[in-house]
Amino acid sequence: MSAGDTRTLTADGFTPGVIWETDCAGATGQYSWSVTEGATQEPGPASDAIDARIAELDDWRGETLARVRALIREADPDVVEEWKWKKATNPGTPVWSHDGIICTGETYKSVVKMTFAKGASLEDPSGLFNSSLEGNVRRAIDIREGDEIDERALKALVRSAVALNSGA
């Protein structure tokens, strides 16, 4: 790809270290990042990748991922969106951070999985965690088609994860 070439960012279209000139969601710009760079609170490569993943899914999983993302942003307006762990067998994973990883938003055939990096250290009075319960560090929430999201409890869990990351 040479300077001046235009390519639309897609969830599987990232190559670490390559400069992309984009025209996504009305925003034009050049970006360069590695697998762990590209974190932003503003629209940019990571946010564009999450948008692309949601659009690519085009089913209940995309709707669920979009809703989870909105709830995370409501719970923590200073959240940083990242796109990590891209490899040949995985287009990458949405990650939300604030002074460290809060959670990821993985999508599988039958679930949207929110994995909380320090979930084992979080109080979960509403019992949202329903997966990865045996681990010493992480906990996850598997959301299946038709599941109701307890929005108040999820936002409280996100705020708790931010507080834990911030040492508050």
The pLDDT of residue 44 is: 65
User: In this model, does residue 10 exceed pLDDT 50?
Assistant: no
Structural domain includes residue 147: yes
Domain count, the chain: 1
Structural domain includes residue 130: yes
We report the CATH number of the domain holding residue 142 as 3.90.1150.200
pTM of the model: 0.74
Structural domain includes residue 4: no
pLDDT, the chain, mean? 80
User: In this model, does residue 97 exceed pLDDT 90?
Assistant: yes
Q: pLDDT-based confidence at 66, cuts 50/70/90?
A: very high
Quote the CA–CA distance of 166 and 43 in Å, as a whole number. Answer: 24
Note down the domain range covering 79. 45-166
Structural domain includes residue 134: yes
